[in-house]
Structure 1
Amino acid sequence: MAALVSFKPHMLMVLSQIGYTLMYIITEASFNHGMDPSVYVTYRHIVATLVLLPFAYFMERKTRPKLTKAIFVEIFVLSLLGVSLTLNMYFTSLKYTSPTLVACMVNTIASLTFILATILRLEVVNIRSPRGIAKILGTVVSLAGVMTMTLYKGALLRKIGDALIHINGRTSVVQENWLKGSILVVASCITWSIWYIMQAYTLKRYPAQLSLTTWMNAVGAAQSAVYTAVVQSAWTIGFDIDLWSTLYGGIVISGMVTYVQLWCMEAKGPVFVTLFNPLSTLLVALLSYFVLGENLYIGSIIGGGVVVIGLYLLLWGKQHDEPQKKEPEDSKAPIFSPDENNFKGEA
């Protein structure tokens, strides 16, 4: 029993990655069915807001600080970077490329955040130590993998048998725009990285994780709604895959998975959480290729492998950062802090 308790964070993170994997597949099916990504982002975060609101209100009503105008402006920018702008680019890229490419690109957030944190002097790099060299080398290798996936498509792997599940509405010739989709997902990873850095500062002034998450979902949904109205997308969704993908994204990903990640991060730290990122990449690639019959290219395999190698070099370099930075009052600090960068993106 004690062994099961000690492995609880590990099991929860595996379940989280399975949740992300299913999200990629379900949302792609919804987009192929005709749902607009901006409508999906808007409705998903409305659902997430409604789910999180009662928990945030009752659980943090005695500890939640006063919401000032300055804090609200920060929340508005955070919502733009972490929800409306980023996720609209992110899910549009999924529509143009494939779940495998998008899942691989998420692994680069660790490297991009590390670069930003180093520039802002939130990350210490000792170039004379093996771990400091590993951080730099891991970042360079990971970004090289991104460039490989973006610029080199390569040969198409031969499909093994027919797809076990067929997603209606797939028109590869029209929908697949590899370069456009790759640029969008890279841009979303950059804005996500900026979001993590800014989030660290905001949480020091507004240390209420559930309330902040609820505010970001609500404001982000409003921002995305404005964008959706401007582009004149169809708002109506039926009682079909569009509804189920929205409910799944809002309740499971923006709600349950976000809470699980926060819990694991508090128990084990952000480095532990990021170690599980490549799992969803592997699961998505396997499901897309063997179950859905999606196209899989040599460039994605090579680039994805290079990204994972770079990621683990970076994580090995950061492995012993946390014990050196711990202070007696760590328990009072917010889960996200400038010294402990959260490298995982919320999709």
Structure 2
Amino acid sequence: MALKASSLSDIYMRFKPHLLMVISQIGYTFLYFITEASFNHGMNPHVYITYRHIVAGIVMFPFAYFLERKTIPKLTILLFAEIFILSLLGVGLTLNMYFASLRYTSPTFVASVINTAASLTFVTAILLRLETLDLRNSRGIAKLLGTMISLAGVMIMTIYKGPIMRNLWHSHHIHIEGNTAIHEHWLKGSILTIASCVTWSLWYIMQAFTLKRYPAQLSLTTWMCFLGAAQSAFFTVIIQHKPAAWRIGFNIDFWSTIYGGVVASGLIIFLQLWCTEERGPVFVTMFNPLSTVLVAALAYFVFGEQLYTGSILGAAIVIFGLYLLLWGKEGDKEAHIKTEGNSYSSTYDENNPKLQKTTSTEREIPQGEP
């Protein structure tokens, strides 16, 4: 029984990062629908970003204070400036440019471009030596192919439609009022979308460096939320001059803000920081296309939206590519554990004068043992 419990514990610890990232993408899936309903209700996206991160900061602060106050590193001016830039990349710039781009393009276009952030992060991580890519072995090839295949699947999902799938579910569906506004200034929107994709990738990459100097995920999440809220508020005040835009009632706007703050900007950012420290930024970003798959499935089964064969084909390709990449990443984990083990063994032998050399037929025995 004890052996079985130990085995289950080992399996859980091995796949804990995978489980946490899947949970994160499920959280993002529900965020998509609740924010869409809120924006269609009249909520200003930039005001929403500000309020959402204020809520997240307030919720995360007690956990950061009580759980990390004894281990938190000293916050220097340079480190604060680094966290400020990290907040700007993750909140102040990325989210505001992302939502602004939706005004000028289409959700399909934005989704297809944003999902390329995983590939961009992969390339950047290799250039900065945060990620290894050895094409001489099968796992290295799997990481490269997995990234390219997942990107291809996302592009198919968002660009190619194909025949409409017949809806076999006859239950009552939930309907969300759509935004029928005509998108203009496509070039401006495209630039904003690409820029948000770049800053988002840089945000994931920078997290890996900041966590080395500030290894306190709860506190870092809290700082990013408060600083991001302040940055977003400054930006919103410049472009939004109507005080009425800042007022929200006890309706879908309120609940979307609470959900976005507690789940998306609080819990999920913390989980992503933990996984980034454990497995690196590429591991985290490669799960992002899962939310696209989950949104399409939920929209079909719950909201009664049309589902095209292109979406099913793309989803299958994304999952296959993700599997390849994760299989390749497991090789990195095994190599890292092996390297640490060899390093420990070497250090132990060098620092222990009691170990004596033996013949090939004898084991090394510390002096004094019987």
- Tell me the TM-score normalised to structure 2 length: 0.73
Residue 149 of structure 2 corresponds to 141
The superposition leaves residues 196-254 of structure 1 with CA deviations (integer Å, 9 ceiling, x where unpaired) of 21111112122222111111111111111111111116222121101100000111222
Q: CA deviation at 1:94?
A: 6.2
Q: 1:244 to 1:279 in 2, by over 3 A?
A: same
Q: Tell me which amino acid in the other structure corresponds to 1:70.
A: L
Residue 364 of structure 2 corresponds to none
Cα distance in 2 for residues equivalent to 1:298 and 1:178: 27
Residue 336 of structure 1 corresponds to none
- In the TM superposition, 1:55-134 aligns within 5 A as 55-92=63-100, 97-98=106-107, 102=111, 108-134=116-142
Q: CA deviation at 1:122?
A: 2.4
Instruction: Give me the CA root mean square deviation.
Output: 3.7
Residue 320 of structure 1 corresponds to 331
Q: 1:231 to 1:299 in 2, by over 3 A?
A: farther
Find the structure with the greater CA-based Rg: 2
Which one of the candidate residues 233, 245, 267 is aligned to 2:256? 245
Residue 342 of structure 1 corresponds to none
Quick check: 35-44 or 138-147, which moved more? 138-147
Cα distance in 1 for residues equivalent to 2:257 and 2:106: 20
Cα distance in 2 for residues equivalent to 1:12 and 1:54: 22
1:89 touches 1:187 (CA, 8 Å); kept in 2? yes
Quick check: 307-316 or 22-31, which moved more? 307-316
Q: Percent identity?
A: 62
Q: 1:155 to 1:268 in 2, by over 3 A?
A: closer
Q: Tell me which amino acid in the other structure corresponds to 2:133.
A: V
Q: CA deviation at 1:87?
A: 1.7
Cα distance in 1 for residues equivalent to 2:102 and 2:283: 27
Cα distance in 1 for residues equivalent to 2:235 and 2:166: 39
Asked if 1:255 is matched to 2:266, the reply is: yes
The superposition leaves residues 240-282 of structure 1 with CA deviations (integer Å, 9 ceiling, x where unpaired) of 1011000001112222334455566778887876776555333
Cα distance in 2 for residues equivalent to 1:145 and 1:186: 19
Residue 164 of structure 2 corresponds to 157
**Partner secondary structure for residue 164 of structure 2:** coil
Task: Tell me the number of residue pairs that the alignment of Structure 1 and Structure 2 aligns.
Answer: 326
Residue 45 of structure 2 corresponds to 37
What are the ranges of 5 or more consecutive residues in structure 2 without an aligned counterpart? 344-370
- In the TM superposition, 1:1-347 aligns within 5 A as 2=5, 7=12, 9=16, 14-92=22-100, 97-98=106-107, 102=111, 108-148=116-156, 152-155=159-162, 157=164, 160=167, 164-168=173-177, 170-172=178-180, 174=182, 187-232=195-240, 234-261=245-272, 277=288, 279-297=290-308, 300-326=311-337, 327=340
Cα distance in 1 for residues equivalent to 2:151 and 2:188: 18
What are the ranges of 5 or more consecutive residues in structure 1 without an aligned counterpart? 331-347
**Partner secondary structure for residue 182 of structure 2:** helix
Q: Tell me which amino acid in the other structure corresponds to 1:284.
A: V
Quick check: 260-269 or 109-118, which moved more? 260-269
Cα distance in 1 for residues equivalent to 2:299 and 2:90: 26
2:121 touches 2:282 (CA, 8 Å); kept in 1? no
Cα distance in 1 for residues equivalent to 2:181 and 2:117: 29
Q: CA deviation at 1:83?
A: 1.2
Quick check: 20-29 or 307-316, which moved more? 307-316
Cα distance in 2 for residues equivalent to 1:261 and 1:202: 13
The superposition leaves residues 299-324 of structure 1 with CA deviations (integer Å, 9 ceiling, x where unpaired) of 55544444443333222222210221
1:108 touches 1:307 (CA, 8 Å); kept in 2? no
**Partner secondary structure for residue 320 of structure 1:** helix
Greater relative contact order structure (CA < 8 Å, 6+ sep): 1
- Tell me the TM-score normalised to structure 1 length: 0.78
Q: CA deviation at 1:73?
A: 1.5
**Partner secondary structure for residue 132 of structure 2:** coil
Cα distance in 2 for residues equivalent to 1:299 and 1:180: 28
2:289 touches 2:318 (CA, 8 Å); kept in 1? no
Cα distance in 2 for residues equivalent to 1:186 and 1:303: 22
Cα distance in 1 for residues equivalent to 2:142 and 2:20: 28
